[in-house]
Structure 1
């Protein structure tokens, strides 16, 4: 259940208007605001696809993880950066904005619970949840909602967790509870309790950003990963082989993109910048499109955008560009 105190209703998108003919439309002219507490998403026709944008306006997990706060403003910055995109997608595609889940009074666990409930309702309606972060604590609520949806269908379908990130985010929870670095460890514990396979692939891992303990935990959990060097050295066979094998092993994919996976030259507006992060170049785009076009996408989010640290909206534009690419290559379950 979405708790009203943790929900902020959507605000209409605005932007440039060149006309109302189909070839002149921009994203803000196609967005349908939907209040998840009081209204229902439009019913999709058979074979029709729909996307729901939902913000997670929280950086409490970043604060608990001793990072630089400000990512709570990320959803608004991503919407603004996306608003004027021209429409280059099927006229039948439904785009809705369901507002934001907020973190009230630092109660992150409650916010994650409401996020999970919102994702579950979106998936039940047949839509693809496209979440706008917010800190990387977004992962636990988002993926948990997808797991709940699959459990409710009782078909034994396997969910794969795919994280583009410099960090494993496999920290064990401590006295502070959930943080931006604990989501995948929490999901692994949930999978163990439920007897569900834990399928996790991380792309862009940096040795200088993860302790030996985190690499050990990754090994214990049989986590698959490709480090950033493979992207730097353009090792296409290695990267594509890892992704293709992962896609073959699962039925659905939850994809999260932590913007700190990218070089600080392209993504300065994040909690933890990476001077040697990967580049959003041709190899990255090939990998990204491969995932998008697999037909297995069950949810996607952009995490860790911190507008207060951004330079000329560079990071917001990168995140928005990833969303444009996703909408242009939309294939989901």
Structure 2
């Protein structure tokens, strides 16, 4: 059950209108607002697919992780940046806006639990959850919902976790509990307790953003990672081979994109900027699209958009472009 105090209904999307013919439509004309408290998502057509957008309005994990707060504005900024996108997806694709899970006060753990329930409900309805962050504490609730869906179906299939990020997010929770940097450590502990494999690939890791302890923990957990230096054309073959092998080894993929993986020139509006992060260029898009087009995507989120520190909506537009790619290449 989703508690009313942790939920905000979707607003109405608006934007430019060029007409009502299919070739003239923009996203705001196709997105269906759905109140999760009032009932389930619309039934999908027999041959249709569905994507459910869901915001996670939280930066409590960022605060606990001593980052720049302000990511609570991320979901609204992403929606606004997506509103006028032209429709380049099949008419059989339904896109629902399921509103926001919010984090009142400092109740992060309960907000994450409710997020898991919402993701589970979305998956059970046959929709692909596409979540809008919010801090990277979104990972734990989102991935747990996908795990729970697989468990309820009594499947022994493998869920692969792909994190495009400058950071491992393998921190051990501190006195305040979980944070934006603990999500994959928590998932690893859950996997150990439940006796299921922990398949985790991190792309874009920065050595100067992770302590020796975090690298040791990654080694102890058999985490696969590719550092940011590999995102150059001379390393394209190695990068693609590692990514393709990981995709082959799993049955489903949870993908999270932390916008702080990108260089600050492209993504100034994040909780922790990276002056030497990767570029959102053709090589990156090739890797990103390979994941989207794998046919294995079970959930996607965009994390760490912080509009308070953005410049000319640069980061919001970058995150929105990644959402456009996701809708275009998974439909």
Alignment partner of 1:32 is 2:61: no
Determine the structure 1 residue equivalent to 2:187: 187
Determine the structure 2 residue equivalent to 1:246: 246
Which range moves more in the overlay, 46-55 or 246-255? 46-55
Determine the structure 2 residue equivalent to 1:256: 256
> What is the distance in 1 between the residues matched to 2:8 and 2:38?
12
Q: SS of the residue aligned with 2:105?
A: helix
Alpha-carbon distance, 1:175 to partner: 1.4
Q: CA RMSD in A?
A: 0.8
Q: SS of the residue aligned with 1:104?
A: coil
Determine the structure 2 residue equivalent to 1:237: 237
Alpha-carbon distance, 1:174 to partner: 1.7
Which range moves more in the overlay, 322-331 or 64-73? 322-331
Moved over 2 A (4+): none
Q: SS of the residue aligned with 2:55?
A: strand
Gaps of 5+ in 1: none
> What is the distance in 2 between the residues matched to 1:278 and 1:247?
21
Which range moves more in the overlay, 136-145 or 232-241? 232-241
Determine the structure 2 residue equivalent to 1:136: 136
Residue by residue, what CA displacement relative to the aligned partner does 1:186-228 show, whole Å, maximum 9, x if unpaired? 0000000000100000000000000000000000000000000
Alpha carbons 1:36, 1:98 under 8 Å: kept: yes
Residue by residue, what CA displacement relative to the aligned partner does 1:134-160 show, whole Å, maximum 9, x if unpaired? 000000000000000000011201000
> Cα 1:282–1:155, aligned 2, differ >3 Å: closer, same or farther?
same
> What is the distance in 2 between the residues matched to 1:155 and 1:103?
31
Alignment partner of 1:100 is 2:100: yes
Determine the structure 2 residue equivalent to 1:291: 291
Alpha carbons 2:162, 2:255 under 8 Å: kept: yes
Q: TM-score, normalised by structure 1?
A: 0.98
> What is the distance in 2 between the residues matched to 1:180 and 1:111?
13
Alpha carbons 2:45, 2:92 under 8 Å: kept: no
Alpha-carbon distance, 1:71 to partner: 0.2
Alpha-carbon distance, 1:293 to partner: 0.4
Q: SS of the residue aligned with 1:189?
A: helix
Determine the structure 2 residue equivalent to 1:89: 89
> What is the distance in 1 between the residues matched to 2:234 and 2:90?
33
Residue by residue, what CA displacement relative to the aligned partner does 1:97-154 show, whole Å, maximum 9, x if unpaired? 0000000011000110110000000000000000000000000000000000000011
Alpha-carbon distance, 1:234 to partner: 4.0
Alpha carbons 2:253, 2:299 under 8 Å: kept: yes
Alpha carbons 1:234, 1:283 under 8 Å: kept: no
Alignment partner of 1:116 is 2:116: yes
> What is the distance in 1 between the residues matched to 2:114 and 2:155?
25
> What is the distance in 2 between the residues matched to 1:242 and 1:192?
25
Alpha carbons 1:231, 1:278 under 8 Å: kept: yes
Gaps of 5+ in 2: none
Alpha-carbon distance, 1:233 to partner: 5.6
Which range moves more in the overlay, 104-113 or 234-243? 234-243
Aligned pair count reads 331
> What is the distance in 2 between the residues matched to 1:250 and 1:16?
41
Alpha carbons 1:133, 1:304 under 8 Å: kept: yes
> What is the distance in 2 between the residues matched to 1:16 and 1:45?
28
Q: SS of the residue aligned with 2:120?
A: helix
Within-5 A mapping of 1:1-333: 1-232=1-232, 234-330=234-330
Alpha carbons 1:270, 1:304 under 8 Å: kept: yes
Residue by residue, what CA displacement relative to the aligned partner does 1:39-64 show, whole Å, maximum 9, x if unpaired? 22111122311000000000000000
> What is the distance in 2 between the residues matched to 1:160 and 1:199?
5
